[in-house]
């Protein structure tokens, strides 16, 4: 499944139209649109709203074998032309300094850019970095349910030092629509990768063995799936993983052990 996360309806409208998504009337926490294996959720403005929307929709679809995410919206820039589209390769939270590093799928369709997420609107732009209000909250939350390879953020420049269009909702939709083909190509690559990752989901037999070792909360189950997929993708067999975990008797200890295995594996790359 691919989940699009947009702050505003005007940002989501090109996606809703392009993929012919239909509004859900069964949900009232967030505005939600559905299609074939595709969802678009409208979070509202700000990193907290974006994080909450991700957590809410992930809980609704926790049985999915794998979820891919795209945060789509507008951003400010000092120098890039209005309408320029970027795939974020670094997201920095302006309040905490926390950094996130989305991983491109193969050869990226859109050029990369770092982005600074602000808590309040601002136009004190720095060169060579975008500014938004949602990306860090999106990354913080979505990475609890999927890996960095499946968590992307695409930003369209709506404001720069010379021109500001971000408050005009029709212009925002138009700017995103102008880039829809490139956005769709990048989304297609992500969906293909997500299909491969879904095949690495924990088997029923392995899951039963893990449940016999400890009780996992829903949050811990989501983290477990991410770590398991990563290790399986690194050609580590389920038998080997379970053998490494045989002496652990708590969910926290098991997840810590899997994180250590993943760390050791990444150190050997």
List the chain pLDDT tens, one digit each, 269 residues.
Answer: 999 999 999 999 999 999 999 999 887 789 999 999 999 999 999 999 999 999 999 999 988 888 999 999 999 999 999 999 999 999 999 999 999 999 887 778 999 999 999 999 887 888 889 999 999 999 999 999 988 889 999 999 999 999 999 899 999 999 999 999 999 999 999 999 888 778 767 777 888 888 889 999 888 888 888 888 888 888 888 899 999 999 999 999 999 999 998 887 665 54
DSSP-derived 3-state class of residue 166: coil
- Alpha-carbon distances of 214 from 62, 92, 210, 241, rounded to whole Å: 19, 35, 7, 15
Place of tokens 């297609």: 188
For the structural domain made of 2-198, what CATH number should be given? 3.40.50.1580
- Whether the CB-CB separation of 191 and 68 falls below 8 Å is answered with yes
For residue range 171-217, list pLDDT tens digits in order.
999 999 999 999 999 999 999 988 877 876 777 788 888 888 999 98
Domain positions in the chain are: 2-198, 204-267
| Among 116, 118, 117, 113, residue whose Cα is nearest residue 88 | 113
């Amino acid at each position: 499944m691919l989940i699009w996360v947009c702050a505003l309806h005007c940002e989501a409208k090109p996606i809703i139209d392009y993929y012919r998504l239909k509004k859900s009337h069964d949900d009232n926490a967030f505005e939600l649109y559905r299609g074939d294996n595709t969802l678009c959720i409208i979070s509202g403005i700000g990193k907290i709203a974006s994080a909450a929307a991700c957590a809410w929709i992930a809980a609704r679809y926790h049985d999915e074998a794998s979820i891919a995410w795209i945060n789509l919206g507008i951003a400010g820039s000092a120098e890039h032309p209005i309408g320029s589209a970027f795939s974020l390769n670094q997201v920095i939270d302006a309040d905490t300094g926390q950094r996130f590093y989305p991983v491109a799928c193969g050869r990226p369709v859109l050029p990369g850019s770092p982005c600074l997420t602000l808590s309040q609107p601002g136009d004190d732009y720095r060169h060579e970095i975008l500014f938004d209000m949602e990306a860090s909250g999106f990354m913080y939350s979505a990475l609890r349910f999927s890996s960095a390879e499946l968590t992307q953020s695409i930003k369209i420049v709506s404001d720069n030092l010379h021109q500001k269009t971000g408050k005009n909702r029709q212009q925002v939709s138009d700017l995103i629509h102008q880039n829809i083909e490139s956005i769709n190509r990048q989304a297609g690559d992500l969906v293909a990768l997500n299909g491969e990752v879904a095949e690495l989901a924990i088997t029923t037999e392995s899951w039963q063995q893990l449940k016999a070792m400890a009780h996992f909360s829903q949050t811990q189950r989501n983290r477990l799936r991410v770590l398991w997929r990563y290790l399986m993708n690194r050609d580590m067999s389920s038998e080997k993983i379970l053998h490494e975990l045989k002496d652990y008797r708590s969910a926290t200890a098991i997840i810590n052990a899997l994180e250590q295995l993943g760390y050791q594996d990444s150190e050997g790359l």
